[in-house]
Structure 1
């Protein structure tokens, strides 16, 4: 029987300035969905009220609301999977909150709507009352816990492994379309193409080799893959985090065991000696309450995020991604004397001569 598959919704392709050098474009594609390390990703579960989808009632001409609220045993599976990812020692942390206005990841349980998640920072594109992750079937059923591990992998920025151009998979396209058109997925050809047959850009994938053991790999039955020959009988990942899954996550989100962040003093620039994908962290303790500007200088593409420390935890305040643009990232935010702030800068790539730097003024 065909497995139930994660069904990502198609998002608009990123718009980069024309004429970017291939190396610079590749760096942007690689990191554009990844969070800055040190982020606390807050997640919430929809809890009723006006939450849910309005769907048509066949034959009546009317509509009804379908709830996004999940039973507590379903929520517990998701919580447990967040803990498993966290247990790797990631520099990104997860925290459950009750207020959806504080959550970057908003989770619903609508049966029949498939299981899916926004990929990484794409979650920030969703409206406050929209889901960024959904579970469409019983997570407590045998073998279905992996669905939650898989969707959290997407939330961290990971892609479908079988869509890697490094896999060398030659599909029997019509067999794939026919298989996914039937139960339990009932996918259109467009959805099957987007989630299975479409090849990702090499810069977007989770690593430089295909990992058929990955939690981001679908199980496939016999007759769908023509090559490599050893997978003609199908692909059956074990349904757990593979060594390469863990390696990828820890490469992007290494443990935060670094010393206290350097101070970023107003009107004094701090040099950024970073390689592609590397990050620098700074602490700001404003001497007065006013609007400040935080900006990056130099020939480089970067994402800059300012967090405010609240109850010992960094909470997102403002961010700017200048990736692919001719100008540098600049953030304006009101900082309050007596509070502590963190500035995190992740470099996509340097594309010119000279050093890059960050300043607060």
Structure 2
């Protein structure tokens, strides 16, 4: 069987992670990498041993010269400026890293372009592929978990990251770049929301040059089911440590996720408590890539199509807008 030809737009950390995974998947071959800096594209190709791949600085040239089946878009959110639309117009299937855009309007237009083209898409929400998350989703959807009640999560770290990450107009902030994973899980597990409020503040990096994003965020969400949610993010915590946790409480079940991969299920129906632990040595990046490749080969929808990428952006946009209005009222 002929291999699927893969192109990359972007040559940063996430591109390297996905390219490293694809190197071990027999169904695909990376044939091109585009980056603003040709040295970055060439370094990705050489360091991972893609002998038949070409490095580009011009995305349009790559599209014209390479017959691609798949395109991996690994760009900062503000850098999405029509590349996806050009690719899907040629029938190329899309894997796109989160967040898919810098705002809801841009995200919505990208979703529409993918739907009109009829191509297969996948968003890089790899947390969804954890066994505990998938088990909990099954229990909620089947009704076994009972009434959804409360969801509480946090994402704590302390890092300056890349220069673009620290600029609001380029990244959207930590809530967009990191904490969005938890917002996605909240919507995935508890469904659509009814209302959302939040507070964002820069408390620890006011003297850091070029740091224009928030470094702390806190939100309150009411879901259409009536359930409540709270999600916090901080870039003021322990340096070099990334802590992500999630607790989900339902009528018959409480689940505590430690860094997402480990989940402790406590079933408490009719006064009895039974415990089940999900802790597996899983490569979540491999699982999301494998699902995307199989979806293309099988001509089916991937588990996390681009329409899912719009949902968390819509929620976060409302939280940020409400925070802005509150700040203006207090001036």
Instruction: State the TM-score, normalized to the length of structure 2.
Output: 0.23
Larger relative helix fraction: 2
Instruction: State the TM-score, normalized to the length of structure 1.
Output: 0.22
Larger Rg: 1
